[in-house]
Amino acid sequence: MPVTAKKHDIHMNFKIAVLPGDGIGPEIVEQALKVLKAVALKFNHSFEFTEGLVGAAAIDQTGNPYPDDTHRICMDADAVIFGAIGDPKYDNDPKARVRPEQGLLAMRKKLGLYANIRPVATFPSLIHKSPLRKDLVEGADFVVIRELTGGIYFGEPSGRSEDGNKAYDTNIYTKEEVRRIVNLAFEYARKRNRRLTVVDKANVLATSRLWRETVQEMVPDNSDIEVDYMFVDNAAMQIIQWPKKFDVMVTENMFGDILSDEASVITGSLGLLPSASVGIHTSVYEPIHGSYPQAAGRNIANPLATILSAAMLLEGLGLTSEASAVRNAVTNSMDKGIVTEDIAKGKTYSTSEVGDWITGAIG
């Protein structure tokens, strides 16, 4: 897949920034690093890992959820593997001026992480976990591409009136931002089944009309791709009714946030879905689930989404055979029932046991 990565030398040596973050982040990232080390050994590569602080862990030590030192580590890396951000002690403090999630937004902005890529695919051995009927989800395989640095989450001005009775946010997009993300979506569609769905609300929103007009201008230069347009409310319905009809979906920041979370339930577990955030400087690979603080330190968290994120990282570095080896090992672990309690039918395995089994399968 065309995930942006820095050029590497012919010796296949790579610098990887490691941001474990909060909650279960350190435990699941540890399993991904085991897997990457096994890949390096088997395929004769070299990975240099450098760890940085982010989120609540960074606030506790530096007062900043995305410290300058961490940013320098990321800027110097060929790719970033990231765990999770979030801590209840900040969630439950309405007066907290600095929150862990601000570190995530700062990282996206400073690294220029303009696109979030979320593959949604079902695994045959886990279809019984999906809340949808087997005939609806079996064979579902699509990608949601979400614009990540524009839109209502970053638009200025935003705020509240002095009396507190009115609040406002501003949704802003430029044609350049739309072209950048849609060009990436065309690339993904070209690598898959050459179908692209553009999701907007062009019947109501001026920003959506800009999106649709811009895509229409791009279509003649991408005539090999079948393009259709869908209002976001219709898309939300059809993802559940006919998930197999989609190939690549591209949309703005807030719509993508909601739709990609909705799509994640198709697989039956948040613990299975990886993601990549494509950047101008480097790219960040992370599971889509959160920090799950209730499970932190208990060695029960599902590491598969993080390990599959490591597979996306390898693919982003151009190591497609290596990525396939990781995905095959993950699939085999599920087929054999070597999984954590959240998706187990019978015997359950710990986070580290699953990581060890997959590492062994690769080696």
Catalytic residue among 90, 114, 201, 247: 201
Assigned architecture for domain 131-267: 3-Layer(aba) Sandwich (3.40)
Which pLDDT belongs to residue 15? 98
Contact between 251 and 229 (Cβ < 8 Å): no
CA atoms within 13 A on the CB side of 297: 3
Q: Is 356 marked active-site? A: no
CA distance 352 to 238: 38
Catalytic residue among 6, 37, 76, 153: 153
- Span 52-74, average pLDDT: 97
* DSSP assignment letter at 61: H
Q: Is 76 marked active-site? A: no
- Span 165-173, average pLDDT: 96
Q: Is 68 marked active-site? A: no
Which pLDDT belongs to residue 103? 94
Residue keyed to tokens 């085991």: 34
Q: Is the pLDDT of residue 1 over 60?
A: no
**Could you check whether 1-114+273-363 and 131-267 share the same CATH topology?**
yes
Q: Is 257 marked active-site? A: yes
| Four-way CATH pick for 1-114+273-363: 3.40.718.10, 3.40.50.10860, 3.90.640.10, 3.60.20.10 | 3.40.718.10
- Span 231-251, average pLDDT: 97
Q: Is 78 marked active-site? A: no
pLDDT band at 8 (very low <50, low <70, confident <90, very high): very low
CA atoms within 13 A on the CB side of 134: 5
For the chain, give every domain's residue range.
Answer: 1-114+273-363, 131-267
Who has greater pLDDT, 176 or 11?
176
Measured CA to CA in angstroms, residue 121 lies from 129, 146, 192, 327 at distances of 13, 17, 13, 12
- Reported pTM: 0.89
Burial (CB count <10 Å: 0-12, 13-18, 19+), residue 11 = exposed
Burial (CB count <10 Å: 0-12, 13-18, 19+), residue 110 = middle
Contact between 160 and 167 (Cβ < 8 Å): yes
CA distance 250 to 229: 10
pLDDT band at 94 (very low <50, low <70, confident <90, very high): low
